[in-house]
Amino acid sequence: MGYKVVVVGATGNVGREMLNILDERAFPIEEIAVLASRRSLGTEVSFGDRTLKTQDLAAFDFTGWDIALFAVGSEATKEYAPKAASQGCVVIDNSSLYRMDPDVPLVVPEVNADAVLGYTKKNIIANPNCSTAQMVVALKPLHDRAKIKRVVVSTYQSVSGTGKDAIDELWNQTKGMYVPGQEVAPSVYPRQIAFNVIPHIDVFMEDGGTKEEWKMMVETKKILDPSIKLTATCVRVPVFVGHSEAINIEFEEFLDEDEARDILREAPGVMVIDKREPGGYVTPVECVGDFATFISRIRQDSTIENGLNLWCVSDNLRKGAALNAVQIAEVLGQKALKKG
């Protein structure tokens, strides 16, 4: 017995990665359907050694299907996720639409797997923001030991978090810097992304922060602990895949850097690579294609009473999106649907 699984948005970066990860993790599948907009209808995508043709999302009947992994924008999700849920299919949504809905669990399986059981209210489970997901995987085991008071995080986020057009813009702008007459003006981003960094992700809010920074704050509170104070500065960098974060943590009690390192080595989903030598840390290049959240540069912060600094890197298309969604499906199967 396996599950009848639908991947919505199967032609996009995250949708394709979902198909790869379902195959890699041998998720128990009885039948699979891949959906896309009419614009991408008939496009072929790979699933293991099979080639699948996309079907029309607008015309699809979700009745009898168990799980739908949604990897489309909020507008399409708003229209089709409630339809799928009402037809008895559990939706695992990668968009931001339902994350802060009190009736929809927001889940990172290494952190709050039991929250999955709250899916019954709307038949929907939300996947967190990519930058939040990797961070809370690192924070959870430390919070269990010493209780986190405050987090200050600066992110260095790759262009794949924006989508395929952003990947193309970085590639073409980079080439254009060296080929006279092939210069590419910014269109996806408000400034040139090649050889540059842009301190602006998502829309600006009234307080001067961006929505990405707000997401990191409110999602951390919902997933991990509402008492944690968090401030973020989110920056887009000229990297294709892999988000990095410099995280400063203030605890309620002292936590030694060596104990923190030992705790993180044992934590689910975490890989510690932390040698105090040139190259003794992880960068986005090394994390691509991996399931782990990598932690490096663990050290005491002597400027506050109970402080630690660390460096956190993960493949944003995997742990930040597709992998987390598939892990939610695995937990949902184990704890609720129980077919696989």
The pLDDT score that the predictor gives to residue 37 is: 87
161 has binding-site annotation = yes
The pLDDT score that the predictor gives to residue 38 is: 84
Q: Which residues fall within 8 angstroms of residue 138, CB to CB, at 6 or more apart?
A: 247, 264, 267, 270, 293, 295, 310, 312
Q: Which helix (H) or strand (E) holds 76?
A: helix 74-86
Q: Which residues fall within 8 angstroms of residue 301, CB to CB, at 6 or more apart?
A: 248, 250, 307, 308, 309
CATH numbers and ranges of domains, the chain: 3-128+321-335 (3.40.50.720), 131-316 (3.30.360.10)
Partners of 244 in beta bridges: 156, 313
129 has binding-site annotation = no
181 has binding-site annotation = no
Q: Which helix (H) or strand (E) holds 148?
A: strand 148-157
What CA–CA distance (Å, rounded) separates 195 from 174? 8
What CA–CA distance (Å, rounded) separates 13 from 163? 7
Where the chain has pLDDT below 50, the residues are none
pTM of the predicted structure, to 2 decimals: 0.95
Q: Which helix (H) or strand (E) holds 91?
A: strand 90-93
11 has binding-site annotation = yes
- By DSSP bridging, strand 243-251 and strand 229-236 are unpaired
Positions marked catalytic = 130, 243
236 has binding-site annotation = yes
The pLDDT score that the predictor gives to residue 340 is: 62
Is the distance from CB of 134 to CB of 243 less than 8 angstroms?
A: yes
Nearest in space to 298 (alpha carbons), one of 239, 257, 246: 257
